[in-house]
Amino acid sequence: MKKLVMLFVVISLFGCGVQKSQMVRIEAKVETESVVSSGDAADDPAIWIHSTDHEQSLILGSNKKLGIYSYDLHGNVKQFLPLGRVNNIDIRQSVPVNGEVIDIVSGTNRSTNRVEVLQIDDGIMKPLNLDIPSSKLSEVYGFCMGFINNQHLVFLAVGLDEDAELYELKNNKKESYLEITRTLPIETKSEGCVIDDDSGEIFVGEEEVGIWRFNYFDENVKDKVISIESKNLKADIEGLALFNANGKKYLIASSQGSNTYPVFDRKDYSFVKTFQVVAGKEIDGTTETDGIEFSTELKSKEFPLGVFIVQDDKNTNPRGNQNFKLISAEEIINEL
């Protein structure tokens, strides 16, 4: 009997060791200034990469009560545009609009119930003259963009409690406009989404159900690639991001209910590892994250292999309004 007990203990300890190795605790290197609005306000980050000097790149973040912020890589506010209730945002650079090649930031504006598109000119967000149809959704909510095969500039507006609308940029001589090209069927509340510019795959997180995969090129594709029933995801499913590392393609999500960020191998959507942002000496950890962004294109002194950006629900040390945390992508990539 004692031998059986000892065997059980050994197996249990080994099992715990395996589980522990799948959870990696990491710390933020930088945090942004807090948003001006109290309560649940900061939501979705994006990154604009300077074309010649990556140290001058910017982090953009939505204040879903007021508008869009831009921050430098040290977290200092550089600009704020009071556009209304901009919920989620995304960026694409060097895209053809109105006869020019420009950088744009776009998002869902719940104040106007439509997609908002701005130009980023030398790091400054500016209005852009673009014909955009009103949404047919009862309320726009989540958002992401894609520049598929460097040809198709698409915008996905996810409805608060229903479906998602796919918009595409169309060109008429030197004037551009957006057109709603199709509706993606989703049954319940969804927000986080991300588009693969190479494959045309579209991922949407249905908050209490799982992560769905659609495809720009094939309207018949709708696969639940990751279920909320997985022990690695706990509702709500929030932000989604894609990145490549070590010759593999990955999807990372905000598992809001567990305050973690699980990573999945896109070859078969198998679970790889979970990350948790914990408190360091100067910067607090993160909880109940909404939006996330992951870029391996940024190469700066602080972030040599890229950056992982997450919204923080409870900003402490010192206590303040919500903000965004910046983590070196190296900390994640080296663990995969």
* Type of residue numbered 159: G
Q: For the CA atoms of 104, 204, 24, 13, what is the dihedral angle to 10 degrees?
A: 180
The average pLDDT across 274-290 equals 97
pLDDT in tens, 130-184: 999 999 999 999 999 999 999 999 999 999 988 999 999 999 878 999 999 999 9
Instruction: State residue 275 phi and psi, 5-degree precision.
Output: -120, 145
pLDDT higher than 50, residue 4 = no
The average pLDDT across 235-250 equals 98
* CA gap 92, 70 in Å, rounded: 15
pLDDT in tens, 7-17: 443 444 334 33
Task: Give the pLDDT of residue 99.
Answer: 93
Task: Give the pLDDT of residue 13.
Answer: 37
Task: Give the pLDDT of residue 230.
Answer: 83
Cα–Cα–Cα angle for 198, 199, 202, nearest 5°?
110
The average pLDDT across 290-302 equals 98
In the structure, how many helices (H) and strands (E) does the chain have? 2, 25
- The count of residues in the chain is 336
Average pLDDT for the chain: 94
pLDDT in tens, 298-331: 999 999 999 999 999 999 988 899 999 999 999 9
* CA gap 115, 141 in Å, rounded: 10
pLDDT in tens, 213-231: 999 999 999 999 999 988 8
pLDDT category, 46, cuts 50, 70, 90?
very high
Task: Give the pLDDT of residue 141.
Answer: 98
pLDDT in tens, 59-70: 999 999 999 999
pLDDT higher than 70, residue 3 = no
Task: Give the pLDDT of residue 318.
Answer: 82
Task: Give the pLDDT of residue 24.
Answer: 98
* CA gap 143, 101 in Å, rounded: 22
pLDDT in tens, 324-336: 999 999 999 999 9
Structural domains in the chain, CATH included, are 24-333 (2.120.10.30)
